C-alpha cells in the first residue's frame, strides 16, 4: 500500500506540475514570426463588419474582435472598414491611422436589415478599394470578414485576395459554412474570435512584390476548423506565421481541478490504509456509549497523512463550531456509510469545487458558477444521503417479515427472545442484522430491550416494527403465546406489503407522468445550451435573464413538489 501511495502521489504531482507549467508558458504567438519590413509597408487590409439587425446583441463581440485585430497589425499597414448587412457602406478608406479605424469600428451602428446578403457586394467593393491604393502595393493584402452569414444561401463570389473569416453562431438561421467557404476558396483562414493576433500576423508574413499579384495558393485549400478550435496554417503562408490559437483557459481553473483531484486521491489513499485493529475495536465499542463516539476517537482514526489530516481536522472543527457534526454523523449512520462526518464533508467540498470549475469553464461567468455549483454540490450530497437512507429503510421494511418469522421459529424451538434476536444477527442480512445488533448490544449493557427495539423502529420509520414492539411489550405484561402473536403480525405485514405493491402499480402512470414533466424542461434547456449557446447566453449574462432563470427555478420546484403530493398515496 505504501508503494502504491507513493506511485499515485508522484503521478498526480507530475501531472499537476506539467499542467500548470504548460498553461503558464505563453502560447505560440503569430506576431513572433519575422516579418519583412517591405511587406509590412506595402500590405493593406479591409475589414468587413456584419451589422445586420438580428446580430445587434452580439455586435459588441464583433467590434471587440475587429479592434483587437487592428491593434495587432503593424503600424505601417493600411487598413479600412466596410460595414454590410443587406447592402454595404464604406466606413473608412484604407489608412495607416489605426486610431481612426478603431473609432470607426466602435461607432459602427446596427442596420435595420436582418440578413447578411450584402457580403458579396462588400467583397467586390473591398477589392476595388485595395486596388485603388496603386501598383506599389504588395501581395500581403488580405480581407477580414466578421459575420454569422444570416440569410446566405450559398458562399458569395470572392476575388483573388485571401479572405480570413471570424464567424459567430447566433441562431439556426445563420449559415457560417457559407462564410467559411470564402477562406477555403481564397486560401484564407477560419479564425478564433478569442485570438486575432494570428490572423493579423498573416498580413506581415507575405513576401513583397513589385506589382500586385493574385494570392493563389500553390496547394489545395487549407483544412477548415471551427471558430472554437483554433486557426489552421494557411497554404499560402509560412507555417511559422500561424500560431496555435486555443481558447484562453485560466490557470487557476486547471490548477483548482488538479488540486482537488489530488486531494481526493490523498483522502482515498488515507482512508484505505490498514489501521490499528485494537483501536478499531475500541472505536466500535465507543459507538454504543452515551456520546455515540467522541471527537477524540474519531481524530485518532483519521489518516496520518499531513495534508489529509490537516484538511480533515479543519473540516471537523468547522462542523463542531456549527454543531453539525452529530447530525451529520447520525445521517451517515442511517445511510450505512462508514465515513466520518469530516471525510464526507471534505469529499463534498472537493466535488463542489470541481463542479464550480467546470461551470466556470462552460459559462464564463464565475459568479453564477459559484452560486450554482455550491447549491448543486450541497444539494447533491444531501440528496445522495437521502437516497441511501430511503433505500436502507426500504430494505429493512422488506426484510422484517422474514426476520420476525425467524424469531418466531427460534422461540418455538425453545430459545429466549434475546437468543432468537441473536440468531437474526448471525444470519448477517443487512440492514436488519445491523439494527438488531444495535438494539441487542444496548440491552446487554443494561438497557431495556423493548426501548431499544422501539428506537430501531423510529430510526427505520417502520410502522410494522412499532406494532411488533407493542405486541412484545403487551405479551410481557399480560402473558400469552408470543410465537402466535409474531406469526399473525408477519401475515399482516405481508398482506400490507402486497396491498402497497398493488397501489404502487396502479399509481405508476401518474408517477411516470410526473417524471416526464419534470425531465422535459431540464432536457430541453440542456439541449438548447448545447446546440445554440449564443441564443441562451442572455439568460445568464443579463439581469432580466437571471431573474427569469430564478423565477423559472422557483416555479419548477413548486410544480415538482405539487406533483409529488398528487402521486403519493399514504396508507
pLDDT digits 0-9 by tens, 44-101: 899 988 888 765 567 888 888 888 888 888 888 889 999 988 888 898 888 889 899 9
In the structure, what pLDDT confidence band is assigned to residue 272 with cuts at 50, 70 and 90?
very low
Q: Which phi and psi angles does 361 have, rounded to 5°?
A: -70, -35
CATH 1.20.81 fits 390-503, yes or no: yes
- Decide if 540 contacts 368 (C-beta within 8 A): yes
Mean pLDDT to the nearest integer, 182-197 = 81
Three-state secondary-structure class, residue 446: coil
In the structure, what pLDDT confidence band is assigned to residue 571 with cuts at 50, 70 and 90?
low
What b/e string do you get for 383-403 counting C-beta neighbours within 10 Å, with b at 16 or more?
A: eebeebbeebbebbbebbbeb
Percent of the chain with pLDDT over 90: 6
Domain residue spans in the chain? 30-241, 251-364, 390-503, 508-567
In the structure, what pLDDT confidence band is assigned to residue 336 with cuts at 50, 70 and 90?
confident
Mean pLDDT to the nearest integer, 249-265 = 59
- What's the pLDDT score for residue 476? 83
Residue 13 above 80 pLDDT?
no
**Residue given cell 486610431 in the structure block:** 99
Three-state secondary-structure class, residue 80: strand
Length of the chain: 571
In the structure, what pLDDT confidence band is assigned to residue 281 with cuts at 50, 70 and 90?
low
Residue among 166, 198, 245 at smallest CA distance from 32: 198
- What's the pLDDT score for residue 298? 43
- Decide if 144 contacts 47 (C-beta within 8 A): yes
- What's the pLDDT score for residue 555? 93
Three-state secondary-structure class, residue 92: strand
**Residue given cell 401475515 in the structure block:** 491
Q: In this structure, are strands 163-167 and 78-84 parallel, antiparallel, or unpaired?
A: unpaired
Three-state secondary-structure class, residue 50: strand
**CATH, range 30-241:** 3.40.50.410
- What's the pLDDT score for residue 131? 82
- What's the pLDDT score for residue 554? 92
Residue 471 above 70 pLDDT?
yes
- What's the pLDDT score for residue 551? 92
What b/e string do you get for 70-104 counting C-beta neighbours within 10 Å, with b at 16 or more?
A: bebbbeebbbbbbbbbbebeebbebeeebeebbeb
- What's the pLDDT score for residue 24? 44
| Helices assigned H by DSSP within 461-542 | 463-478, 482-506, 508-531, 533-536, 538-541
**Which secondary-structure segment (H or E) carries 167?**
strand 163-167
Residue 313 above 70 pLDDT?
yes
- Decide if 38 contacts 138 (C-beta within 8 A): yes
Residue among 223, 225, 245 at smallest CA distance from 234: 223
Mean pLDDT to the nearest integer, 274-284 = 49
Residue 296 above 50 pLDDT?
no
Three-state secondary-structure class, residue 79: strand
Mean pLDDT to the nearest integer, 419-436 = 87
Residue 422 above 70 pLDDT?
yes
Q: Which residue has the higher pLDDT, 348 or 135?
A: 348
Amino acid at each position: 500500500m505504501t508503494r502504491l501511495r507513493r506511485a499515485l502521489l508522484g503521478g498526480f504531482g507530475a501531472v499537476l506540475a506539467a499542467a500548470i507549467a504548460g498553461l503558464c508558458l505563453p502560447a505560440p504567438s503569430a506576431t513572433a514570426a519575422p516579418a519583412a519590413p517591405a511587406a509590412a509597408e506595402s500590405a493593406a487590409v479591409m475589414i468587413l463588419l456584419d451589422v445586420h439587425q438580428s446580430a445587434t446583441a452580439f455586435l459588441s463581440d464583433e467590434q471587440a474582435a475587429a479592434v483587437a485585430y487592428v491593434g495587432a497589425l503593424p503600424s505601417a499597414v493600411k487598413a479600412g472598414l466596410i460595414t454590410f448587412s443587406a447592402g454595404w457602406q464604406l466606413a473608412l478608406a484604407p489608412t495607416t491611422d489605426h486610431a481612426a479605424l478603431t473609432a470607426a469600428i466602435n461607432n459602427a451602428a446596427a442596420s435595420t436589415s436582418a440578413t447578411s446578403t450584402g457580403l458579396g457586394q462588400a467583397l467586390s467593393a473591398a477589392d476595388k478599394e485595395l486596388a485603388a491604393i496603386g501598383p506599389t502595393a504588395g501581395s500581403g493584402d488580405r480581407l477580414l470578414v466578421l459575420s454569422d452569414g444570416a440569410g446566405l444561401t450559398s458562399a458569395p463570389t470572392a476575388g483573388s485576395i485571401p479572405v480570413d473569416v471570424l464567424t459567430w453562431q447566433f441562431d439556426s438561421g445563420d449559415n457560417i459554412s457559407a462564410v467559411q467557404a470564402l477562406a477555403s476558396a481564397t486560401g484564407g483562414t477560419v479564425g478564433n474570435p478569442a485570438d486575432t493576433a494570428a490572423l493579423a500576423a498573416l498580413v506581415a508574413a507575405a513576401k513583397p512584390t513589385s506589382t500586385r499579384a493574385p494570392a493563389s495558393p500553390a496547394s489545395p485549400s487549407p483544412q477548415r476548423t471551427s471558430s472554437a478550435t483554433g486557426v489552421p496554417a494557411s497554404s499560402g503562408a509560412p507555417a511559422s506565421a500561424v500560431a496555435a490559437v486555443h481558447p484562453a483557459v485560466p490557470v487557476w481553473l486547471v490548477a483548482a481541478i488538479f488540486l482537488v483531484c489530488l486531494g481526493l486521491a490523498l483522502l482515498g489513499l488515507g482512508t484505505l490504509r490498514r489501521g490499528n485493529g485494537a483501536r478499531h475495536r475500541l472505536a466500535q465499542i465507543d459507538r454504543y456509549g452515551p456520546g455515540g463516539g467522541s471527537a477524540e476517537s474519531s481524530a485518532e482514526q483519521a489518516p496520518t497523512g499531513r495534508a489529509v489530516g490537516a484538511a480533515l481536522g479543519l473540516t471537523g472543527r468547522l462542523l463542531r463550531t456549527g454543531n453539525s457534526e452529530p447530525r451529520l454523523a447520525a445521517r451517515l449512520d442511517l445511510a450505512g456509510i462508514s465515513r466520518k462526518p469530516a471525510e464526507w464533508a471534505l469529499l463534498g467540498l472537493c466535488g463542489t469545487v470541481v463542479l464550480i470549475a467546470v461551470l466556470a469553464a462552460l459559462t464564463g461567468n464565475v459568479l453564477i458558477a459559484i452560486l450554482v455549483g455550491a447549491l448543486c454540490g450541497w444539494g447533491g450530497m444531501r440528496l445522495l444521503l437521502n437516497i441511501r437512507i430511503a433505500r436502507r429503510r426500504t430494505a429493512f421494511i422488506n426484510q422484517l417479515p422474514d426476520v420476525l418469522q425467524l424469531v418466531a421459529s427460534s422461540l418455538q424451538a425453545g430459545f429466549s427472545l434475546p437468543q432468537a434476536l441473536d440468531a437474526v444477527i448471525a444470519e448477517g442480512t443487512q440492514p436488519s442484522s445491523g439494527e438488531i445488533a444495535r438494539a441487542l448490544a444496548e440491552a446487554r449493557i443494561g438497557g431495556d430491550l423493548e426501548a431499544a427495539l422501539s428506537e430501531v423502529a423510529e430510526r427505520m420509520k417502520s410502522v410494522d416494527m412499532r406494532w411488533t414492539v407493542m405486541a412484545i411489550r403487551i405479551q410481557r405484561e399480560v402473558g400469552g403465546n408470543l410465537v402466535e402473536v409474531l406469526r399473525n403480525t408477519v401475515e399482516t405485514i405481508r398482506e400490507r406489503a402486497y396491498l402497497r405493491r398493488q397501489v404502487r402499480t396502479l399509481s405508476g402512470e401518474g408517477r411516470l407522468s410526473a417524471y416526464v414533466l419534470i425531465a422535459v424542461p431540464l432536457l430541453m434547456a440542456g439541449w438548447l445550451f448545447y446546440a445554440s449557446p449564443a441564443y441562451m447566453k442572455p439568460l445568464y449574462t443579463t439581469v432580466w435573464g437571471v431573474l427569469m432563470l430564478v423565477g423559472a427555478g422557483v416555479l419548477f420546484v413548486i410544480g415538482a413538489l405539487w406533483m409529488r403530493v398528487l402521486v403519493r398515496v399514504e396508507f
